[in-house]
Amino acid sequence: MQKRSIGSLQVSVVGIGCNNFGARLDQSGTDAVVAAALESGINFFDTADIYGATKSEEYLGRALGARRDEVVVASKFGMPIDDKRVGAAPAYVLTACDDSLARLGTDHIDLYQLHAPDASVPIADTLGALQELKTAGKVREIGCSNFSAAQLDEARAAAQGSNEFRSVQNQFSLLWREPEVDGVLTACDRLEMAFLPFYPLANGLLTGKVRPGAPPPAGTRLAKMTPERSAHWLSDEFTARVASLLEFADEHGVSLLSLAFSWLLAHGEVASVIAGATSREQVKANAAAPIQLDDAMRDALDALTAT
């Protein structure tokens, strides 16, 4: 599988989002997904301390076992685990990393990401703590998530050349194209950062399994959402776009899944499309999804999903 760079790291263009581990998947289910990923040439696993109520890191570490050094493990900190384990204060950054290392059963995290900005802590202080972790060999590269272009510029100015974020992870998909207009992709080019899209399949709307006018298939993430949350994803606006995309996919003899992955990867800033999976079959489908889009197909997709 093709690989792209996040700083010094080489990651597969298809990755595994690990938010199902410890939540929708138990240890055996996690083992199956990880094994299928490795068989498919996927080497990038993205988790977080809050996923699965801290179980995701544990399950991932056990599933990787002796193959840990064959892969790139990314994790995140900063979202609230509880009232005390939250934020980006330097002391907590160091503690949070040690806790994640213990859960993962490893001595280093390849990409350690601040899960969200913390307005109560100067970014320079957080970056200083992350640099300590890099110097100690506990972290190889650092990244961030849910940052605006202005916050990325602020972080780069504070880094002073030694503790720079190498990636940013924000929402991006055919149904959510905000990074193209809010300056984040442009900032990635300017700052030589990689972009990692979350919700690349729009919570399942872009898998091809959800048909406009029909309820989400039983067992899917959309089917299990609260009505308040699913109403956002099943809005008339998104449903109409999905209908157009399905028609386009049928006309061109490709799957909507392939279009979703390939359109994202057509953006040079995108290092890897990290999608969740709950079965070996989903992993295999995701791994096989990327195709080369010609200019005409990309332009057509841009027009179909323009806001």
Residue 232 has pLDDT above 80, yes or no: no
Give pLDDT, residue 223.
67
Residue 225 has pLDDT above 90, yes or no: no
Gap between the terminal Cα atoms of the chain = 33
What is d(CA 300, CA 295) in angstroms, rounded to the nearest whole number?
8
Residue 78 has pLDDT above 90, yes or no: yes
Domain boundaries, the chain: 3-207+258-290
Residue 169 has pLDDT above 70, yes or no: yes
Give pLDDT, residue 165.
98
Mean pLDDT of 148-175: 95
Give the class (CATH, top level) of 3-207+258-290: alpha beta
Side chain identity at 249, as an amino acid letter? A
- Beta bridge mates, 46: 17, 74
Give pLDDT, residue 86.
97
Q: How many CB atoms lie within 10 A of CB 251?
A: 9
* % residues pLDDT > 70 (the chain): 98
Q: Is 280 exposed, middle or buried (0-12, 13-18, 19+ CB in 10 A)?
A: middle
Please report which residue ranges of 192-279 form alpha helices under DSSP H. 221-224, 227-233, 236-252, 256-265
Using only C-alpha atoms, what is the Rg of the chain? 19
Mean pLDDT of 18-32: 98
Mean pLDDT of 293-301: 96
Residues classed as catalytic: 51
Phi, psi of 195 (to 5 degrees): -110, 135
pLDDT in tens, 32-59: 999 999 999 999 999 999 999 999 999 9
* Residue 178: half-sphere exposure toward Cβ, Cα within 13 Å: 13
* Residue 248: half-sphere exposure toward Cβ, Cα within 13 Å: 23
Helix (H) or strand (E) holding 14, with range, is strand 14-17
Q: To which residue do tokens 């039983």 refer?
A: 218
Give pLDDT, residue 64.
98
What is d(CA 219, CA 70) in angstroms, rounded to the nearest whole number?
32
Closest CA to 84 of 96, 72, 71: 96
